Amino acid sequence: MSTQSTLSKKAAHAEQPKGRKRMTVPDFSARKGGEPLVCLTSYTAHVARICDEVSDLLLVGDSLGMVIHGMPNTLGVTLEHMIMHGQAVVRGADKALVVVDMPFGSFEESTEVAFRNASRVIKETGCAAVKLEGGEEMAPTIRYLARRGIPVMAHIGLMPQAMNTAGGFKAIRDEAHWDAVIADAKAVEEAGAFSVVVEGVAEPLAAKITEAISIPTIGIGASAACDGQILVFEDMIGLFPRVPTFVKRYGNMEEMMRASVGVYAEEVKARNFPGPEHTYKPK
């Protein structure tokens, strides 16, 4: 059997039952320790429509700065980028919980600034929750938002927005740093986060965090020891050139796209496209 047909069979199997109701924040939190939570990033309505069929949560991640807008990192992403892509994803998804990332500079200054910007995201996109990077230092902000009606997904471990202080994107493998990450997990849980993304940590640390807190841990580069997984859609379908170790490629869309545009260019040059079937006839 070809890889393609194996994938199609698996995909048909993975499709969620028709008529399932929209995932809410409490539904999501209640899945702690249960069936693993399926999460994917989406930045556009059409991709959201596809991912919505199999996902519990769609994240409009600030990774869109790198993946869609060609930025070198996520630091240049603005609230306006997040709102525009958030609106597109909310239009495309009607089953998964849609969460929008708070970009760098939009929440760190004060709890009030965080509330002002997070409430704009919720109002203008219609998403159900926001995600923000940070552990203990962001606990007061998470508490402030959660108590005022804004559900927060936290993000600890490797935090891409802290790349300048960390000296790059560095996975946390050294045991000397584990206690600090566990303290972050406990702090965001205690502050009222409904879930936490755990990025780039060694497997035993992911297991310790998942064991230590009562909210779902969603791993990216954090092993199968988490309560669920998230991947950047473009990474997993093979549409982004840089592939980190933790990404499994489930397709090679870049190859397919190159082949398609290549054949198109040849056919245009040879006047083989458009053919009669793509041409209007006079009435």
Which residues participate in catalysis according to the annotation? 199
Q: Which of 230, 236, 237, 239 binds ligand KIV (CB under 6 A)?
A: 230
CB of 269 to ligand KIV, least distance (A): 39
Please give the size of the binding site for ligand KIV, defined by CB under 6 A: 11
CB of 188 to ligand KIV, least distance (A): 14
Sign of CA dihedral 193, 44, 23, 214: negative
Helix axes 139-146, 178-191, angle to 10 degrees: 20
**What x-and-dash track marks residues 136-175 binding ligand KIV by CB under 6 A?**
-------------------x--------------------
Helix (H) or strand (E) holding 115: helix 111-125
Residue nearest to ligand KIV (CB): 61
Q: Which of 25, 132, 152, 220 binds ligand KIV (CB under 6 A)?
A: 220
Three-class DSSP category at 7: helix
Nearest of 216, 251, 240, 252 to residue 38 by alpha carbon: 216
* CB-nearer residue toward ligand KIV: 73 or 273: 73
228 contacts ligand KIV (rule: CB under 6 A): no
Give the count of beta carbons closer than 10 Å to the beta carbon of residue 193.
Answer: 29
CB of 59 to ligand KIV, least distance (A): 6
197 contacts ligand KIV (rule: CB under 6 A): yes
CB of 153 to ligand KIV, least distance (A): 9
* CB-nearer residue toward ligand KIV: 56 or 62: 62
Q: Which of 232, 236, 237, 239 binds ligand KIV (CB under 6 A)?
A: 232
Three-class DSSP category at 188: helix
The conformation of residue 172, written as its DSSP 8-state character, comes to B
Structure tokens at 73: 């990192």
101 contacts ligand KIV (rule: CB under 6 A): yes
DSSP string for residues in 197-258: EEESB-HHHHHHHHHH-SS-EEEESS-TTSSEEEE-HHHHTT-SS---TTPPP---HHHHHH
CA distances from 157 to 83, 209, 247 (A): 25, 10, 17
* CB-nearer residue toward ligand KIV: 105 or 273: 105
25 contacts ligand KIV (rule: CB under 6 A): no
Nearest of 78, 104, 114, 91 to residue 43 by alpha carbon: 91
Q: Measured between alpha carbons, how far is 4 from 24 in angstroms, rounded to an integer?
A: 33
Task: Report 52-81 residues binding ligand KIV (CB under 6 A).
Answer: 59, 61-63
CB of 233 to ligand KIV, least distance (A): 9
* CB-nearer residue toward ligand KIV: 68 or 253: 68
Where do contacts with ligand KIV occur on this chain (CB under 6 A)? 41, 59, 61-63, 101, 155, 197, 220, 230, 232
